Amino acid sequence: MKFIHFSLTFFLVIVFIQVSFAQDSLKHCGTDEFMHSVFQNNPKAVLNQQLLENFTQQFQQTANTRQQYIIPVVFHIIHNYGIENIADAQVIDAVKILNQDFNKLNSDTSAIVNQFKPIAANCGIEFRLASLDPNGNCTNGIEHLLSGTTYSGGEDSKLNPWPNDQYLNIWVVKEIASGAAGYTYYPGSADPDKDGIIILSSYVGSIGSGQYATARALTHEIGHWINLKHTWGGTNSPGVSCGDDNVYDTPQTQGWTSCNLTGAVCNSAIENVQNYMEYAYCSCMFTAGQKARMISALNSSISGRNNLWSLSNLVATGTSNSSSPTTCIPVADFFSINKFACTGDPIELVDKSWNAKVLYRYWNVSGASTASSLSDSVISVTYDLPGIYAVSLLAGNNVGSDLKVRTALIQILSDTALYANGFSENFETGSFPTNNFIPDYTGNIDWFIKSTIGYSGNHCLALNNYFANSGISYGVLGPTFNITTIPNLLLTFHVAYAQKSADNNDRLRVMVSENCGKTWVPRYGKSGNQLATTTVHPLNFTPNISEWRMETVNISPNANSTNLRIKFDFLSDGGNNIYIDDINLGGFSSIENSFEEHALQLFPNPVTDHLILKLNLQHDIEGSIKLYDVTGRMLEVIYSGKIKKDRNISVDVSRFSSQVYFIQLENNGTKQIYRFVKQD
């Protein structure tokens, strides 16, 4: 959507400079694309539009004496504690601009072309932030909802909808998947829980992350929401052909993306380039005909808009009185700028409470030291001992207080290495996150332990990339190593990944850090079809045993590191799921070699008494098969000598305790390591 607002003072000075900016930088409206999809798939929506159009034509012929229509509004701020989590002041500024635009109080009306000044309309529509929520609780009409869907705004981002016959729902997100600045549905065409407007946070208001260049986007979308089309008709293609919007006083136009105030392509008549339903950068008016069309929609039961402004609903939503609303109790909320750090490193905590101004607060940071006052809105804390820590915030005012507790918020890492003699992990035991593996992203999608799936067992590390947000990096931190005494500086792991379509370019990297995660260096990276371990899977991907591949990472450039941390970092590009298993370093690792990857298979795994070794060699070899524990200590030589290529060997492991063990297959110095879990 392309909207730029200028005061008359600066209009002539910078108009030519801003033409390029408007065309290249600002986004379009996505309403028509969504409406076309609705009309194709929902015959009832088509019928409702026909009935609403009939009602509109009839109602416009009647006398309408009502002077003001008040619409209760709720803003749902969908965020992940980024810049999209806009402040209440920015929302209030957006509502102020709406009320100026719909009541002809905007200062730039003086710039309206003389031909259109007589029909520039005061629509008499006022928007008020709700003071009561659907349950009758006190609200300031703005709620902040934590969700990763802020990065892929769409129907799934329409969280916690309030009844659409009582409130205008406006969802604010960081990005919209379609690339639009915002979109909505025409009256009577949407499911009740999807009815409303979704819009980018940078297109809300003129302060904070907003600007006047984009502030009229919300005016435009609300025009659609009250049954206005684009001035050139029901398409998203301005400048293509002359069209009509079913409004009697808007000239036929082809639509404009630049502010040519004398533009006259259709019928040689000057066109209404300054209309809010245009894509030009100088929108500043509705026409009297557009007003009549919107008022008709607000009076129609077909539209679902006629109850909004009723006195009973204004009382129910706390919007019947234009005076300042009742002060509510704050909803406590906060976030940590750093989710993990080493002992002694500072972590900053920020109060993001909402619903009312906080007059007092108290942080509970048990286990931490702080030089800040525990009543400050931003505090810096340090922890001396490694561990996972909870933080709570009590936020209140004269009305009351609210407590927010966030468990496992902060992960403090040891500044000394956890491992010095190699490492292995197959995710068969233990929880997640742990001191070894820590998610480096918090959202609706994250790494987790997947049960029933694994390369050498029944569990692995997984990411549901099928549902993830494109462009988001999903990381998981691994353990720390003193690698100065490890002779084999190769990290190996098994991966299973599929593309959803051939153009997916998801990327997996293995990163290392020698300074507790302050900086990272890549040591491995594959993307797209190079990363894929199988063919394209358009459906949700779950691997079978043949769809895994072992990868090798050379970390010898960090051979002198006494505290090396690893990180698996996955950048989503809309592909399919990824799985990681059997991470090995040092004495427990092996390299890709002359053995086939599945030269030896172990079952059952996990095992209680007898483990079966099934050999799948290309030919007989001279070699050995040995059993090791998790520390790298050899427990038993299972076999030594000539190994037949298709032999099965039974190993009694009943005497061993429950833990992870390794089988090593060796031939002329070439080794392959296999892992199994012993259970009681």
Active site residues: 221
> Which tokens belong to 261?
């105030």
Please, what's the b/e burial string for 266-288 (b: 16 or more CB within 10 A of its CB; e: otherwise)?
beeebbbbbbbbbbbbbbbbbbb
Exposure b/e, 154-168, CB count within 10 A at least 16 = b: beebbeebbebebbb
How many Cβ atoms from other residues are within 10 Å of residue 624's Cβ?
16
Calpha distance 294→186 (Å, rounded): 11
**Phi, psi torsion values for 543, nearest 5 degrees:** -80, 150
Residues 6+ apart with CB under 8 A from 54: none
Under 8 Å between Cβ of 94 and 172: no
Rounded Cα distance, 98 and 104, in Å? 10
Q: Is 588:662 a contact under the CB 8 Å cutoff?
A: yes
What is the separation of C-alpha 463 from the centre of its chain, rounded to a whole number of angstroms? Answer: 15
Per the CB < 8 A criterion, the answer to whether 157 and 78 are in contact is: yes
Element spanning 436, H or E: none
Map tokens 């690792």 to a residue: 589
Task: Specify the 3-state DSSP secondary structure of 98.
Answer: helix
Contact by Cβ (8 Å): 85, 352: yes
Closest listed residue to residue 420, CA positions, set 631, 634, 568, 591: 631
Q: Decide: helix, strand or coil at residue 224.
A: helix
Residue 295 main-chain phi, psi, to 5 deg: -65, -35
Residue type, 437: F
Residue-wise burial string across 560-598, b where 16 or more C-beta atoms lie within 10 A, e elsewhere: ebebbbbbbbbbbbbbbbbbbbbbbbbbbbbeeeebeee
Residue at token pair 């009582």: 166
Q: Name every residue whose Cβ is closer than 8 Å to that of residue 324 and which is 6 or more positions away in sequence.
A: none
Q: What is the dihedral of CA 40, 44, 50, 54, to 10 degrees?
A: -170
